[in-house]
Structure 1
C-alpha cells in the first residue's frame, strides 16, 4: 500500500486497527486491548474485508490469553460470532486453536498470528501476478467493494490484481462502484486508487449495466468472503447483479481470493450463511433519517454468485478456469 498507512498494526501490547469508517477524510486508529475490543471493531465495520478480519481475530486471541490463559475458548466464541459469512475468520481462528492445543503459550500464538499476517501479503502478491496475466493489454475493468490493502494483509486480492496489472502496463481504466450502503468503493477503493495514480472513475452501483453498453469492459474483478466447494461465491451485496450484467454483455468475471476463502465443507452457495444487518444502515445516513421514521428495510450484506457466471477464480496456488468442484479440489489438494 502507498505510504506508511497500514490497516493492521501489532503495536505490543495493543493491536492498532485503522478505523475504516472515517476514511478517506480522517486517519484514526483504534487501540484494541482485548478480544472483545477486536470483535467490536470487526462487527462495527472498523476493520473489514475477509482476510483482514481473519488477521485481526488471530491477534485478538493473543490479547485474550495474555490477560487470562483460561479465556481462549470464550475469546474464540466472541471473535467467531463477530461476522458469520467470511470464512477467513473461522479459518484463522481454527488455525490459532491448533497451535494452542499443541502448545498453550501466548508467545506461540503471537508467532502464528504474525505468520498469518505475513502469509496473507505473500499470497496477495501471487494472486495479483496470476490475475494480471489473464488481462490483455489496455484492459478496462470494473471492481466492487474494497479488496485492497485496507481489506487484507497488504496489496489486496481483486484490487491486488488491478495493482499488478497497472504495474505491468496491462491496465487502461478502472471503474469502481460506490458499494452501498457503507460506500466502501467510494471511500476506500477510490482512495487507494487515487493514492497510487491508477486511472479510475467512480460509478453508481446501479449504473454498471449501462456502463457496459457504453464502454468495452474486459473484466469484472471482485474478491470473496466464502467460496463453496462447487465454486459458488459469496461476496459483497451487488456482486451477483454485476455477474449477471457481465454475462449479458460478454464481460469476463474474475474472483480473486486466497485459498483460505474456500470452504470445501460447504457444498454450494445455498449453504453459505448470509449476514443481515440493521435496517438503519439503509434508512439513515450518519445518524440522519433518509427514509420515513420507522420504515423497515431488507439489508443483506452479501449475495452469492453462481459458479456458472464466474470465468476464473484466482488464488495464490493458481487459476481455476473453467470453474468446477473437481478443478477446485484438484488445485487445493
Structure 2
C-alpha cells in the first residue's frame, strides 16, 4: 500500500511541535530527528488505517484501539520493544501538545501503555583492559602522529568521560587544556570536566608529532588530510585493538565513557557528581551505572563465597 501524503496542515503542526521540543525541552538535534521519524511513521500508519491523511482535527477521534493497532503494526515490522517504547513516548508527547492546542480530549489514546523492556546495562572495560587498549593504540599505527592522535582521543573518553562527538569537536582554541574544560554536550548543555594530567600529556604528545599546528579556528584532532577527524576512524581503531586483544564487540569507543563512569563509581564517586561529569540531563540515566557496579559485586560474591 502506498503511504498517503502528509497533509500540509499536519506537516505544519509537526514542524511547530518539533520547534517547541527543541526550544523548551532542550532536545538535541539527534533526538529531534528521531522524533520526526517516529511521528512520520505514526501519521503514515493513521493514513493507511483510516484511508485518509491525518489532520489535527481528525486526531480528535483517536482511540485506544488505534494506538494498539499502531503498536501491533510496528511489532510486525520487526521493531523491538525498546524502540517501540521510545516511538510511543514521542507520539504521546505530540498528542498531548496537539490536544492542548486544538482542545481535543485524547485521554483514551494517551492511556495506552508502552511495552515493557529490560534496559541493557552498559558494558565497560575493566581498568586493565582500558589501559592495555590505550597502550596498544599508542603504538598500533605505522605513522607515529596518527597512533598518538588515536591514543589521545581514547584517553579523553576514558579519562574525562567525553562523548566521541565532544572530543572530536574540540578546536585548537581549546588548547592548551586548563585544569577543567567547558564542554557543550547534548541539547547544548554545558558542563565543566576536570582534565587529568595524563590526558593533557596524551594530547600534548599528539600535537608534538602532528604535521598541522593547533590553530584556534581549526580542529584539534585531524584526519590524515588535515580535516576534522571522523568518528568512524576512531571506531575502526577500536575494532582493530579489540580484535588484537580478544575483547568483545561491546568494547567500542563509547564503552570507554561507560568505563569512566563505572570506575569512578567503584572508587566511591557519588551519582550526582558523575551525572554532572557525564552531562546527563536526568539522574535516572546515570543510575544505570549502579546496576553495572552491582553486577560486578555479585559476580565477585558468587566467585569468592564458599557457598557461591
Tell me the TM-score normalised to structure 1 length.
0.26
- Which structure features the higher share of helix residues? 2
More strand by share: 1
